[in-house]
Every structure is written in structure tokens, then in C-alpha cells.
């Protein structure tokens, strides 16, 4: 089963996307629908709201008077927090029931308007954000009968576009017509969601493919931050920090489009204990890669655990090492040295390009890595010298 978070600002077209995904076969868990269900007449949720805010928030039939409740809580943060404490736990409980009842091979779309605001994004393997410009959203809301001032106020009360973009694994632009949006949703379903679900269920990582260097992508740091948060949420207290490492963590350096992360643990027994949690979050275990190559030559093998990504839209290599171990330190040192030393970056890039040319079309990534090892073996002394003179200390950032 794959759980997908779907969100977007009011008037963005999120409901249109949800309907299209359901038509393709997704199971929809709509938080807005559930929020109404858990406060329907006769529920304990409605009784608690009445007790908290008075009978003035009920209509003549005893049902919730939503405009009256909105007038009480809209400009009162404490009242909103009190209301959320009543409604949100019930919505989460009902959502969990619906997800548990879905088929094992389902793509479950969780439509959550306040997904970003609630900090829920790291708890889901994939987040889809539907976007439309604010003025277009205002226009749509006014056509629905909402006064313009109210439309603008509601938009302003929600997360910013920047916050949503930071949380988005997939950004669906709905500034055009519905046909374009439908085509984009269909492509997302066929090329990403369906294979992602199958990979997740079968614990199958996607491959990086033949080595191909691309120019630095400005989205790499943001993608790494999303993935760091997802890994940290999956492992909980057993984790000792997640760092973005590898070439995509070095500004200005062309690289393969692969995000490398390093999860620190106290012992590798902790890595084994969180294996299933990581796999459920979209990071299948790759048992054949259970150690680093010796660095420098002749040093002992450095054990680790390695997980890939089930998401065909984002290749990830997750290295799990004991905090303070030589492999853990080495990954952070090389990253920071390459960030600081432009000459070293240029040398390394030349080696990478040579290796990529040599193994162009070869899907065996280990051969590409092996070609680079001699350069690292020869350069480690320079990196250590830089660390000594710069008073370097390992950092996750």
C-alpha cells in the first residue's frame, strides 16, 4: 500500500485532482469529509464542541452551525486550537480505520487541506501539492459565492506557497485548464504512483541506471530536506541525525541525479530495528551492500546498512552508519572539504566525468564507484589536512 498526501490552498483545484485519482483507482480518505462526519448530529464530537463554545454554535435542528463557529474561532488562535484538539484526533482515528480497510495493493490518497500547517508531510512517503496563483484562486472562490474579502482572508490564513513548495514531492500547477491538469494527473498515476506502490509492497528499490552527470539542480537541497525529515520521522528515537552527503550536497558540482543521505545510529542493531519502518516509508533495504569499501587501502572494512528508494521519481541512497565510526566521519569530511576547496572539486569532477564516459550505458553503478576510489584514496590526506587547519568538526548540515 502507498499512502499519498494531497494538499493545496483553498481554490487551488485539489478536489479536482482527488476525483481524477479516484477515477484511476485510488482510495480517497478526505479529511474535510471526515471532519464533518466526526461532528455530525449525535456524535460525541459535536457534544464536546457545544460544551466548549456554547449552544450558539448549533442551529435550530441541533446540527453544527458552521458559519457561527467560524465567527467564534477565525480570529482567535486559542479558540482554533481548542477546536482542533476536539476535531483532529477524531479525524486521525477515522482516517486510520479507512486506511486499514483498504486493499494491500491500494494507492491511498489522503486529502488533507492543512497537511503542511500540521507538520504531517514527513509521515507520508509522497506529498502532492496542487497550486494555482492567488489571484486565480480568489477568482474561483468569488465565482462560488464567497465575498472577495473573505476569500483573501482565507488564503492568507493558510500556508504560503513557499511552505507548500518545500513540502512538495510533486507540484501540480493548476493555473491552466482542466484538460491540462487531467493529463498531468494521469501521467503522475501511471508513471509514479502505480510503480511506487508496487515497489513499496515488494520491497524493491529503483536503480540509478547508467551513470549520467547533470548540472547542479537547485531542487536538490530542498528534496534532501524532505527526505531527511521523512527518514527522521520513520526511525524516531533510534536515529542520531540525518545528513545530506555525496555530490548533490556539494554546491556547483555536476552529479548523478541521486540524493545520498547518511543516517547516524548508536549501533547497527538500531539500524536493523528500524528496517521495516524505513521500508514502509519508501526506503527498501538492499542487503547486498552492507559495508563500505576500505578507505584508505588496507584499512578494515567499515560495516553499514544501505537502503534505496521505492519512488521511481526520486532515486535515493540511504547509508546507515554508527555515529563516530570512520565511515560516518569520512562521508561528512569529504562533503565539507569539497564544498570548501574549489581545486579539489574540479579534480573530482574530472574523475567523475571520466568514469561516466567509461561506463556510459552500464547500469552497474558499482563499476562507476570503483573507478573513483583511487582518487579518494590519494586525496584523503589532503582532506584530513584541510580538516586540521580549518578546525573542522562533523556536522549534519
Q: Which three cell numbers stand for residue 55?
A: 449552544
What whole-number distance in Å separates Cα of residue 64 and Cα of residue 67? Answer: 9
Flag whether 342 is marked binding. no
Determine how many CB atoms are found less than 10 A away from the CB of residue 100: 8
Handedness of CA 263, 266, 272, 277 (dihedral sign): negative
What whole-number distance in Å separates Cα of residue 223 and Cα of residue 248? Answer: 10
Q: Decide: residue 179, CB within 10 A, 0-12 exposed, 13-18 middle, 19+ buried.
A: exposed
Flag whether 15 is marked binding. yes
Flag whether 7 is marked binding. no
Handedness of CA 269, 246, 201, 173 (dihedral sign): positive
Contact between 338 and 345 (Cβ < 8 Å): yes
Q: In whole angstroms, how large is the CA radius of gyration of the chain?
A: 25
Query: Residue 110 belongs to what H/E stretch?
Result: strand 107-111
Flag whether 304 is marked binding. no
Handedness of CA 205, 206, 207, 213 (dihedral sign): negative
Q: Could you tell me which of 172, 21, 182, 187 has the C-alpha nearest to residue 107?
A: 21
Helix (H, G, I), strand (E, B) or coil at 318: strand
Flag whether 385 is marked binding. no
Q: How many CA atoms lie within 13 A of 260 on its CB side?
A: 13
Determine how many CB atoms are found less than 10 A away from the CB of residue 393: 8
Q: How far is CA 49 from CA 21, 35, 37, 81, in A?
A: 33, 13, 14, 12
**Which residue ranges are tagged as binding site for ATP?**
11-16
**Which residue ranges are tagged as binding site?**
11-16
Amino acid at each position: 500500500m502507498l499512502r499519498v498526501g494531497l494538499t493545496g490552498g483553498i481554490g487551488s483545484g485539489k478536489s479536482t485532482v482527488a476525483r481524477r485519482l479516484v477515477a484511476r483507482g485510488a482510495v480517497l480518505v478526505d479529511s474535510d469529509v471526515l471532519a464533518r462526519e466526526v461532528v455530525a448530529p449525535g456524535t460525541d464530537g459535536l457534544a464536546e464542541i457545544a460544551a466548549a463554545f456554547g449552544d450558539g454554535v448549533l442551529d435550530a435542528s441541533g446540527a453544527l452551525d458552521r458559519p457561527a463557529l467560524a465567527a467564534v474561532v477565525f480570529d482567535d488562535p486559542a479558540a482554533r486550537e481548542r477546536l482542533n484538539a476536539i476535531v483532529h484526533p477524531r479525524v486521525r482515528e477515522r482516517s486510520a480505520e479507512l486506511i486499514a480497510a483498504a486493499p494491500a495493493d491500494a494507492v491511498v490518497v489522503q486529502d488533507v487541506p492543512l497537511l503542511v500547517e500540521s507538520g504531517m508531510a514527513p509521515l507520508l512517503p509522497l506529498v502532492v501539492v496542487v497550486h494555482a496563483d492567488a489571484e486565480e484562486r480568489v477568482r474561483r472562490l468569488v465565482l462560488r459565492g464567497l465575498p472577495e474579502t473573505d476569500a483573501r482572508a482565507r488564503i492568507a490564513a493558510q500556508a504560503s506557497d513557499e511552505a507548500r513548495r518545500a513540502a512538495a514531492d510533486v507540484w501540480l500547477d493548476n493555473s491552466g485548464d482542466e484538460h491540462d491538469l487531467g493529463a498531468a494527473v494521469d501521467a503522475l498515476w501511471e508513471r509514479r504512483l502505480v510503480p511506487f506502490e508496487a515497489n513499496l509492497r515488494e520491497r524493491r528499490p529503483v536503480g540509478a541506471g547508467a551513470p549520467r552527470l547533470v548540472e547542479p539542480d537547485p531542487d536538490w537541497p530542498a528534496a534532501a530536506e524532505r527526505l531527511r525529515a521523512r527518514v527522521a520521522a520513520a526511525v524516531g528515537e533510534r536515529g542520531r541525525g540525518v545528513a545530506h552527503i555525496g555530490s548533490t550536497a556539494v554546491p556547483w558540482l555536476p552529479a548523478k541525479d541521486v540524493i545520498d543521505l547518511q543516517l547516524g545510529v548508536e549501533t547497527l542493531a538500531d539500524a536493523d530495528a528500524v528496517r521495516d519502518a524505513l521500508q514502509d516509508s519508501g526506503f527498501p533495504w538492499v542487503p547486498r551492500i552492507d559495508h563500505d569499501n576500505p578507505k584508505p587501502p588496507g584499512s578494515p572494512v567499515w560495516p553499514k546498512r544501505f537502503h534505496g528508494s521505492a519512488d521511481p521519481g526520486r532515486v535515493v541512497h540511504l547509508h546507515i552508519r554508527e555515529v563516530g565510526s570512520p565511515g560516518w566521519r569520512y562521508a561528512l569530511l569529504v562533503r565539507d572539504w569539497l564544498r570548501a576547496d574549489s581545486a579539489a572539486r574540479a579534480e573530482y569532477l574530472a574523475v567523475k566525468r571520466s568514469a561516466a564516459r567509461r561506463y556510459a550505458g552500464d547500469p552497474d553503478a558499482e563499476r562507476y564507484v570503483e573507478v573513483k576510489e583511487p582518487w579518494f584514496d590519494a586525496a584523503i590526506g589532503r582532506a584530513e589536512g584541510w580538516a586540521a587547519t580549518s578546525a573542522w568538526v562533523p556536522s549534519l548540515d
